[in-house]
Amino acid sequence: MSRIGKKEILIPENTEIKINQNSILIKGIKGELKYDFSNLIKVERIENKLKLTKKHETQKTQEIYGLSRSIINNMVIGISKGFRKKLIIQGVGYRAQMEKENLILNVGYSHPIYIKPPKDIKIDVENNVNIIITGINKETVGQIAATIRSKRPPEPYKGKGIRYEYEVVRRKVGKAGK
C-alpha cells in the first residue's frame, strides 16, 4: 500500500491557494489551476504546507487519498515551474513546423498532419526535428506529447518516427539476405 498521501505539499513563494469544501484553486506565477477532489478526503493548509487527511479508512479512500495528493502536488509544481516534454523526429524527409498556433508534421504520409494545441499549451519547433511542449498542467502536456508521438511512433527496424527525448527504441535485425 502506497504512503504517498501522507507526504505534505510545500507551497512555494508567490502562490495563492483557496480551499472551498471540495475544490482547491491554486494561483501562481505561470497561471491558475482548479481541482475538485472527493468528499472522502480533507485538504487543509498549515502555514506554507498543504496536508491531506482521510475521513474514512476504506480501500477506495486510500486510493483517492494518494491520487489527490499527487494531482495537487503536480498543480503546485506546474504553476511555479511548469512542465516540459521534448520529442525528436528521426527519418529522411521527416520534419515539423509551426504555422501560427498549429503544428504541421510531415512524417512520410501523402498529406501533412495538423495538430491544434489547447490554449494553455505552448509548442516550439527547433531545427525542424525537435518539438518542445510546455504548459502548467502535467496531464495535458503529456497527452499532447502522446498524441503527437502516436502520429508516427518509432519503428524497430530503422528507428524512424517520433520519439521522446530519452526514449530508447530497441532495434531488430532485418531479414537475412542469401
Q: What is the pLDDT of residue 21?
A: 85
The answer to whether residue 2 scores a pLDDT higher than 80 is no
Domain boundaries, the chain: 4-80, 83-164
Q: How far apart are CA 78 and CA 100, in angstroms?
A: 25
pTM attached to this predicted model: 0.87
pLDDT digits (tens, 9 = 90+) for 41-91: 988 888 889 898 888 888 888 889 989 999 999 999 999 999 999 999 998
2.60.40.10, 3.90.930.12, 3.40.50.720, 3.40.50.150: which CATH number matches 83-164? 3.90.930.12
Q: How far apart are CA 159 and CA 77, in angstroms?
A: 34
- Common-topology check for domains 4-80 and 83-164: yes
The answer to whether residue 38 scores a pLDDT higher than 70 is yes
Hey, what CATH topology would domain 4-80 get? Outer Surface Protein A; domain 3 (3.90.930)
Q: Please give the order of strands across the beta sheet that includes 32-36.
A: 16-19, 23-27, 32-36
